[in-house]
């Protein structure tokens, strides 16, 4: 039987604008997006497409994570953010609880595999097998779970809405009484495969991305990891949680393999379902963390869905991808951390690079950072390929 509330006990994040949550907040406040030309990813497009890399080599990340440098970048990013999230929760020893780990990623250890293949193709006797042994997505999750000492449940999911879906899955397990605590979110590193794939779709911007701007021409890829610590009522009673995960929903408009339906049907249903689970009305939402990738299709469909749902007036809204880039499997987790923290601290994030109102929308994103806002409920949207749409609602009580 599903019962009780699920709370956010803490969160952790590493991205191209900061190695932890405090550094990310400083970048938002200083209006300092993370876009730059590639320094760590080796690509023939290095001087063409700006990306939002974590400003650290694999060796530096390994030192921060306390893990071997031969781990994939995806796993190292995950380990760093998971440890910060656990520390922020104030829960003490993981061994004291029934803990699950639900972690999304789309590239697994591909960053290492790509390097292996270059050496192997030149000489089949070359290349280190430890670069490919953790190639698949689940291996990244298993490595971090083992490092954290998580034993009760470990699972992984994929695609661009799956960081949010990880929270939903974890929340259901807690409400079903299967676990006391779930660390949920996602991680992804930049790889040549990802960059080339998005370039083939012709949705990469050669300038800094401009979500919800009429001049937008595409997204900037980013990398990072973000996780929240979900806890049951019983566990939350002994700590001061950030907020409550009040509602969530997933919908699929099944319109196209890589595009949302033009009118945002899946987006609308996900947002509506999340509000209904939380017993909330649209006017109860104080801020929306938009999916906001900067592509023509995404921003238009999301914007039209928001206009339809929030017919009495759209609350302040912005896309933090205008700072972090689109971090794919990590994005739902990173933005869940940002949204939960926004609710706790009364923060509204700015939408960078905005200048021209979209013709089809009556609202425009917030362009200034602010603290001290009276926020009671915050919505976070994550919409993935195949029309897979997820919305989360965080509430103060």
- Better-scored residue on pLDDT, 83 or 387: 83
Task: From 326, 319, 323, select the one nearest 366 (Cα to Cα).
Answer: 319
316: which DSSP letter? Answer: P
The answer to whether residue 259 scores a pLDDT higher than 70 is no
pLDDT band at 1 (very low <50, low <70, confident <90, very high): very low
194 token code pair: 């990802």
14 token code pair: 């590493």
* 160 is known as an active-site residue: yes
Q: How many residues in the chain?
A: 397
Q: How many CA atoms lie within 13 A of 95 on its CB side?
A: 2
Task: From 366, 396, 198, select the one nearest 288 (Cα to Cα).
Answer: 366
The predicted model gives 234-252 an average pLDDT of: 96
d(CA 344, CA 242): 6
CA distances from 265 to 11, 304, 374, 385 (A): 31, 9, 30, 14
Q: How many CA atoms lie within 13 A of 147 on its CB side?
A: 21
**Count of C-beta atoms within a 10 Å radius of residue 125:** 7
What pLDDT was estimated at residue 183?
98
What pLDDT was estimated at residue 257?
61
Task: From 348, 391, 338, 353, select the one nearest 371 (Cα to Cα).
Answer: 348
124 token code pair: 């089949």
The predicted model gives 387-396 an average pLDDT of: 92
d(CA 253, CA 260): 7
* Catalytic-labelled residue, pool 24, 160, 209, 243: 160
Strands (E), 70-134: 99-104
What pLDDT was estimated at residue 157?
67
d(CA 367, CA 167): 28
* 137 is known as an active-site residue: no
**Domains annotated on the chain, with CATH:** 7-236 (3.40.47.10), 244-395 (3.40.47.10)
C-alpha dihedral (26, 108, 318, 251), degrees to nearest 10: -150
pTM of the entire structure?
Answer: 0.95
Query: With contact defined as beta carbons under 8 Å apart, do 124 and 265 qualify?
Result: no
Q: What does pLDDT average to over the chain?
A: 93
* Catalytic-labelled residue, pool 40, 134, 291, 389: 291
Q: pLDDT (tens digit, 9 = 90+) per residue, 133-181?
A: 788 788 889 999 999 999 999 887 656 677 899 999 999 999 999 999 9
The predicted model gives 169-195 an average pLDDT of: 96
Q: pLDDT (tens digit, 9 = 90+) per residue, 52-97?
A: 999 999 999 999 999 999 999 999 999 999 999 999 999 999 999 9
The predicted model gives 27-44 an average pLDDT of: 96
Q: Is 312 exposed, middle or buried (0-12, 13-18, 19+ CB in 10 A)?
A: exposed
* Catalytic-labelled residue, pool 134, 137, 326, 389: 326
d(CA 106, CA 158): 5
Query: With contact defined as beta carbons under 8 Å apart, do 358 and 300 qualify?
Result: yes
Query: With contact defined as beta carbons under 8 Å apart, do 370 and 223 qualify?
Result: no
**Helix 331-345 × helix 21-29 angle, to 10°:** 70
């Amino acid at each position: 039987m599903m019962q009780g509330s699920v709370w956010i006990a803490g969160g952790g994040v590493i991205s191209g604008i900061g190695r932890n949550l405090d550094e990310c907040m400083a970048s938002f406040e200083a209006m300092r997006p993370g876009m730059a030309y590639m320094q760590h990813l080796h690509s023939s497009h290095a001087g063409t497409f700006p990306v939002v890399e974590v400003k650290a080599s694999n060796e530096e990340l390994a030192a921060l994570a306390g893990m071997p440098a031969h781990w994939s970048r995806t796993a190292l990013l995950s380990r760093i953010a998971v440890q910060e999230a656990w520390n922020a929760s104030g829960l003490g020893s993981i061994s004291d609880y029934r803990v699950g780990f639900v972690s999304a990623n789309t590239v697994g250890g591909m960053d290492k595999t790509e390097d292996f293949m270059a050496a192997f193709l030149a000489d089949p006797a070359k290349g280190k097998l430890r670069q490919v042994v953790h190639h698949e997505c689940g291996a990244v999750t298993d490595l971090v779970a083992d490092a954290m000492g998580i034993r009760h449940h470990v699972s992984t999911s994929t695609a661009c809405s799956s960081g949010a879906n990880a929270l939903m899955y974890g929340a259901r397990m807690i409400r079903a009484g299967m676990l006391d605590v779930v660390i949920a979110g996602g991680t992804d590193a930049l790889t040549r495969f990802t960059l080339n794939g998005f370039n083939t779709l012709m949705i990469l911007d050669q300038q800094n991305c401009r979500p919800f701007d009429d001049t937008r021409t595409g997204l900037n890829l980013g990398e990072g990891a973000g996780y929240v610590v979900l806890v049951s009522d019983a566990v939350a009673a002994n700590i001061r949680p950030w907020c409550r995960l009040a509602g969530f929903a997933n919908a699929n408009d099944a319109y196209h393999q890589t595009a949302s339906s033009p009118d945002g049907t899946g987006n609308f249903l996900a947002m509506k379902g999340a509000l209904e689970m939380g017993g909330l009305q649209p006017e109860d939402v104080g801020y929306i963390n938009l999916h906001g990738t900067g592509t023509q299709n995404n921003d238009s469909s999301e914007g039209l869905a928001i206009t339809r749902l929030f017919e009495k007036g759209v609350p302040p809204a912005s896309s933090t991808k205008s700072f972090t880039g689109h971090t794919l499997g990590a994005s739902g987790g990173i933005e869940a951390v940002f949204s939960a923290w926004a609710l706790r601290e009364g923060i509204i994030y700015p939408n960078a690079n905005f200048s021209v109102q979209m013709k089809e929308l009556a609202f425009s994103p917030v362009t200034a950072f602010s603290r001290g806002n009276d926020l009671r409920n915050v919505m976070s949207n994550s919409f993935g390929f195949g029309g897979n749409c997820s919305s989360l609602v965080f509430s103060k009580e």
